[in-house]
Structure 1
Amino acid sequence: MTAVTDGGTDRTGSPDAQAERGTDGRGRIPEAGREWNDGLIARRAAVKAVEPEPETAPDDDVRPPLVEAYVPSGGPLRPRLDALRELVGLSRARLDGATLAEAGRVLDEAAARQRLSSRHTVVAIAGATGSGKSTLFNTLAGAQISDTGLRRPTTAAPLACSWTDGAAGLLDRLAIPGRLRRRPQQGAADGDEALQGLVLVDLPDHDSAATEHREQVDRVLALVDAVIWVVDPEKYADAALHERYLRPLAGHAEITFVVLNQIDRLPGDAADQVLDDLRRLLDEDGMALGEHGEPGATVMSLSALTGEGVDELREVLGRFVQERTAAARRLSADVDAAAARLRPVYVAEGRPGLGERAREEFADRLAEAVGAAAAGQAAEREWRRNAGRACGTPWLRLWRWYESTRRPGSLERPARPEPPEEQLTARQLVEQAVRTLADEAADGLPGPWAQAVREAAVHGADGLPEALDTLAQRVGAEPSPGGSAVVATGVAGASGVAHSGRVGGKPPRPKWWPAAVLTQASMTLLQIFGGLWLVGQIVGVLEPGYLTPALVMLTGVVGGPLVEWSCAAAARGPARRYGQEAERQLRETASACGRARVLDPVAAELVRYREVRERFAAVTEISTTGG
């Protein structure tokens, strides 16, 4: 026996009449792009029709909200829909409309279904040309409602049969006009108590040569609560069925029935073999099979023409309808499918974020850009230089002044700068710091959120060098030549701090400075007094006695440098602390500026991502600790 992918003969032999075509649909599934390798009849297995345990049907007068139904595979539906709605709202500014389109469609369809009857279950019968789906439709309804025949396609528009009243809104949603709405045969309707609430829809052939027929199939399949796929022994492995429908809708297994029709054509145990191979193909499609009490698709075999197996289908379908959870299960499966499509844009590979180490490194790079370390060193030198001016000997200070007038700058030469090609500007350092921070923050994030983090960092970096330069000036640093921020080596910033005396003003003097100045002045007076005393003795104005004036003068000569050295040693500690304070203030200023302009916006984007990640976890009902 060989499977074929087109054409096929319906075995009913009834006359056929063309029905009017319905409105255009939406949500078309793309055509398959390759041939199907069926590998028919791989093994034999006994046919088991999965019959779920019956549950007590709720009273018809009680109409609980649809979203309160519990879906075993997906959990309570209402929290998931609420989380998906919040997720879409939070993501609109970061994701394009095409990415969120399917989630928006699911929310719209869920809202539309909730407003309609929860007592009815809409089940579509779908199948290929000649599969006998219209014959099965008529058999379940107990009347010749849908036309059958040899001419293909036979069914041109969806035809509905409702076992109870109150389904008009549901059929309006399916765009089925009133002339194509039927009721089952009176005797059959009275006898099928379990089917009360069923709305059965006969669809056009999914492999019809008419494009509008396939569009209607795709449209209605996106809206019904459940679907019965009718296959025949010749086309049960058709690629148009498996690749375009069963495989993409594998997550909807709990609301899917797959019925092997026309088993009356198969001799002996061939029906069991074909049914077993059909189960194999469904398993390859990823569709769970409802066997051994597990949730999944119901797979059965029957003959709509002879009636064999139809009662079993009617019984299983009756229990399914009376559970009244099909609509919620369908919506839950739609939410699962939408979440699976959205997973790449929400689930990170690792644990993205900004750690303390990344923040400290960013602050270090900004401090380097404004020359905080060099400014602290310059402030320390300035403190010690002031101590030298206050406590140094007058003769040494006079000599330094003389040297400075002869060769300006000869005594305070700045460090030789690096060659221009080896020296980074502050702007380059800032840009490098921002880029490194953005890369670390975005590491592991899904594409859209990583891009949002980088954009926030780049936007914050715009004007950051100028802002750092302005803030540096406020704390005493001068801008570097060229109008940009201070250079990377920090020479300009350090010089600015040094020339200003301290960060924000002149460095304070310790309390011992006046005593040191007075002592140094005393040493100078001793030198002068001893020198005049000796001169007076030499010229004969005073009585000779060179030892005493020489000792006085020697005391002043030796005491002056000793006082200067003592003051320099005493100033070393305060000078170091003053330099560290200057570096700290400049570092904190740069860090605060970088935090306000870059770190806070980046952190806000990360918080936003964590929020949508939590919403996505609520949609999929998984823990956020794993992603």
Structure 2
Amino acid sequence: MSALADRTDDRWDDGLIARSRPVPDEPDGEDGDEGDDALVRALSGAGSDGGRTPPPPLSPEAQALRSRLEALRQLVALSRTRLDGQTLAEAGRVLDEAAARRGLSAQHTVVAIAGATGSGKSTLFNALAGVQISETGLRRPTTAAPIACSWSDGAAGLLDRLEIPGRLRRRPRETPEAEALRGLVLVDLPDLDSALGVHRDHVDRVLALVDAVVWVVDPEKYADAVLHERYLRPLAGHAEVTFVVLNQVDRLPGEAADLVLDDLRRLLDEDGIALGEHDEPGATVLGLSALTGEGVGELRELLGQFTQERGAATRRISADVDRAAGRMRPLYVAAGHPGAEISEQARAEFEDRLAEAVGASAAGLAAERAWRRNAGKACGTPWLRLWRWYENRRSPRTLSGLAALAAIGGRGAAQAAEPQSPAEAEVTARQRVEQAVRAVADAAATGLPDPWAQAVRETAVRGGEQLPEMLDEVALTLGPAAAPPGTKPPRPAWWPAAVLAQAAMTLLQIYGGLWLVGQIVGVLPPHLLPPVLLMASGIVGGPLVEWACSLAARGPARRYGQDAERRLRQAAAGCGRARVLEPVAAELLRYREVREQYAAVARLSTSRA
């Protein structure tokens, strides 16, 4: 734009007004990489003389805008990978327009005059300029393109941004009243309800770029639906940079003008536009007659004060940020306040499901049974061990177990005890894992806005794709099948004593039996009581030792099984954390960062956001 501003043919074309002095070239804008500080200083009037004087400190309003723009930039950057470009288009446009306003003249305030056909906006434009600039008449539409009038030099860059050519740029009449409007750039727009689409396009384009708007209505069309529904209602948040004037009050007899103004205020209130009454910020509403001059001086005075404040650009951009934040609210704030983190209950349930899928509980029970079975082999009586060996040789354990179950519970229990095929077991385990992933994703996404809830679910599903295979490796590494054939659980320190005691009981039985046989065959003198007592003590003592060992083995066996289950559960939980929980937690952390940035943009507390 600065290149266009430097071109000779783009200097002010004053038409019928004679040049009173040459128009100097407008200084180039500053470099576009200085960030929001330069932007807000430009909007607040800082450094407008090219840096020859130190810039004044930023106003609180400008500082707040700087923080909000930075937060909006961070918000867009964090959201690009989660939201589509069309959704973020308005936020990007606000940032682009705010950056475009940097480097342009901060000493000028651009105000557009907009209105419907026959409202008299061009007449008001000429009355403020003090000279016939914009064509007026009965022919409709009268204004075909935006026409600009500037009360001071240096606004060429602003008008280049509005795409107003030099031939449509004018100067006001040099009067004492004109000095009060120094810094004002007034733009007369085509009719907003023109039958020609190109005229409406001009209106929409310029309204999106100016610092403030003067809406001109007449007594007949002040309630026009096009004006209220298409323009005033969507721009309700821009009340502080809005003027609404009821023109042609000279046509209203008596108190009719006050009644129409009251009804106009009512309509504006229904549109959601705050009215600047009782020293409160909001839109300015007044009545005037551009034809007779009634009220024009009051409007000129209000525009002069408004221009001298030099805060219109800041307020306009702040209002644009407000509107963008309001439209983006469903993307960052849900109806219910989310925790934005995985609850401990959801984590525990997820780990429990993974442990179930990997068979941690069954592995623990198997380890406990193996420990107790090993204890029974070591501490049992030799005769019982011999009988068990004989039973195992006679029929497979599985068949004998099924027969026992059938005898106890019938055919159904035997069928229930049949092991699953590997394919069926794999399908069941995969289904359990998928169910666990869906459950923890739903729990983490509860209360999140739809885009972020979907992102959390997709992250969990992606992480869970390889989780069944990882759990299979864990089961093969740490499960019962991982132990080499013949491997036995570790034995406690008291087992050798138990083995010796069982051996002593066996020796007593053998010694007593041999003694008794010797007496029967006549080799030893007959005395039945000692050998019988020895045999009885061995016969009774062996089961007693075995029973005592089984009692003593319960605690170590249970702990051994619990250790095996815990190792398998921890390994499965580690896989689940690495593949699902940590990626989901990272996604939730990103959402919390985004929500904090949105709270800064929308000027909300984090708890409300």
**Contact preservation (8 Å) 1:122, 1:226:** yes
Select between 532-541 and 295-304 the one with higher mean Cα deviation. 532-541
* Residue number in structure 1 paired with 2:34: none
Residue 69 of structure 1 deviates from its aligned partner by: 4.7
Secondary structure in 2 matching 1:625: coil
SS at match of 2:278: coil
Q: Does 1:379 align with 2:367?
A: yes
Separation (CA, whole Å) in 2 of partners of 1:212 and 1:436: 55
Matches within 5 A, 1:534-573: 534-573=516-555
TM-score by length of 2: 0.86
CA 1:290 to 1:66, structure 2 compared with 1: closer, same or farther past 3 Å? farther
- Give the partner amino acid of 2:471: L
Secondary structure of the 1:160 match is: strand
> Which residue does the alignment assign to 2:576?
594
TM superposition shift of 1:65: 7.9
8 Å Cα contact 1:194-1:321 kept in structure 2: no
Question: Do residues 268 (structure 1) and 254 (structure 2) align?
Answer: yes
CA deviation profile, 1:233-269 (whole Å, cap 9, x unmatched): 1111111111110011011011000011111111222
**Match in the other structure for 2:11:** none
State which of 127, 130, 135 in structure 2 corresponds to 1:139.
127
Identity of aligned residues (%): 72
Letter in 1 for 2:605: S
1:114 correspondence with 2:117: no
Amino acid at match of 1:170: L
Deviation string, structure 1 residues 490-512 (Cα, Å, up to 9, x no partner): xxxxxx77x878xxx63210011
User: Which position in structure 2 is the counterpart of 1:350?
Assistant: 337
Distance in 2 between residues matched to 1:96 and 1:154, nearest whole Å: 42
Asked if structure 2 preserves the Cα contact closer than 8 Å seen for 1:157 and 1:203, the reply is yes
- Of 297, 321, 325, 1:311 maps to 297
For the 8 Å contact 1:69–1:328, the answer to whether it is kept is no
- Taking structure 1 as reference, are residues 551 and 477 closer, same or farther at Cα in structure 2, changes over 3 Å only? closer
Distance 1:173 1:66, change over 3 A: farther
Which stretch of structure 1 is more off in the superposition, 524-533 or 323-332? 524-533
**CA distance in 2: counterparts of 1:287 and 1:585, whole angstroms:** 65
Q: Which one-letter code corresponds to 1:98 in the other structure? A: Q
Higher mean alpha-carbon deviation, 402-411 vs 170-179, is at 402-411
Contact 1:66 1:328 in 2 (8 A): no
- 1:28 aligns with none
SS in 2 for 1:200: strand
Provide the residue aligned with 1:584 in structure 2.
Answer: 566
Structure 1 residue corresponding to 2:198, chosen from 193, 202, 212: 212
Does 1:254 find its partner at 2:247? no
Deviation at 1:460, TM superposition (A): 1.3
Q: Match for 1:336 among 314, 322, 333?
A: 322
Partners of 1:624 and 1:136 in 2: CA distance: 47
**Distance in 1, Cα, partners of 2:351 & 2:379:** 38
SS in 2 for 1:304: coil
Secondary structure of the 2:88 match is helix
8 Å contact kept, 1:472–1:589: no
Change (3 A) 1:242 1:596: same
Q: Give 2:495's match in structure 1, choosing from 498, 506, 513.
A: 513
Question: Where do residues 26-425 of structure 1 align in structure 2 (5 Å cutoff)?
Answer: 61=49, 68-71=58-61, 76-186=64-174, 188=175, 190-348=176-334, 349-352=336-339, 353-409=341-397, 417=416, 425=428
- The equivalent residue for 1:469 is 472
The separation in 1 between residues aligned to 2:252 and 2:79, in whole angstroms, is: 55
Q: Residue 29 of structure 1 corresponds to which residue in structure 2? A: none
Matched to 1:302, the amino acid is L
TM-fit CA distance, 1:446: 0.5
Measure the CA separation in 2 of the matches of 1:395 and 1:449: 69
Greater share of helix residues, 1 or 2? 2
- TM-score of the two chains, using structure 1 as the length reference: 0.83
Q: How does 1:586-625 map to 2 (within 5 A)?
A: 586-625=568-607
* Deviation, structure 1 residue 280: 1.0
1:374, distance to aligned residue in structure 2 (A): 2.0
Which residue matches 2:454? Answer: 451
**CA shift in 2, pair 1:452/1:132, >3 Å:** same
Change (3 A) 1:58 1:569: closer
| CA gap 1:555/1:443 in 2 versus in 1, 3 angstroms | same
Once the two structures are superposed, residues 262-304 of structure 1 have per-residue CA deviations (whole angstroms, 9 ceiling, x without a partner) of 1111122211111111111111111111111111100011111
SS where residue 81 of structure 2 aligns?
A: coil
Residues 67 and 77 of structure 1 are in contact (CA less than 8 Å); yes or no, is this contact kept in structure 2?
no
CA distance in 1, matches of 2:177, 2:417: 98
